Amino acid sequence: MKLPRVSGKHTVEALLRVGFVIHRVRDSHYILKNAATGRRVTVPYHHRELALKTLSYILKQAGISPEEFSNLL
């Protein structure tokens, strides 16, 4: 499945729905953590769309498939 074109803001919002919480913020990057799985994800929080490779890597770190991510949006 193709990845959707989304901004960092929408990516953070989708990850919050899955159970991630904002661990800390450093400059323009949000570090999210999932207490249940112990996974940590860093998301660039810019107003423009994320590069598809960046989004793909974020989803890989989070353990979420592109289909599941699309449903969260």
| Predicted confidence pLDDT, tens digits, the chain (73 residues) | 788 899 999 999 999 999 999 999 988 999 999 988 889 999 998 878 999 999 999 999 999 999 999 888 8
Q: Based on the number of CB atoms within 10 Å of its own CB, is 30 exposed (0-12), middle (13-18) or buried (19 or more)?
A: buried
The domains found in the chain, sorted by start residue, are 8-72 (3.30.920.30)
In this structure, what token pair is assigned to residue 23?
């661990």
What is the rounded distance in angstroms from the CA atom of residue 72 to the CA atom of residue 22?
17
Phi, psi of 49 (to 5 degrees): -70, 150
- pTM (2 decimals)? 0.86
Residue-level pLDDT at 54 = 92
Q: In the prediction, which pLDDT does 59 show? A: 93
Q: Which pLDDT belongs to residue 47?
A: 79
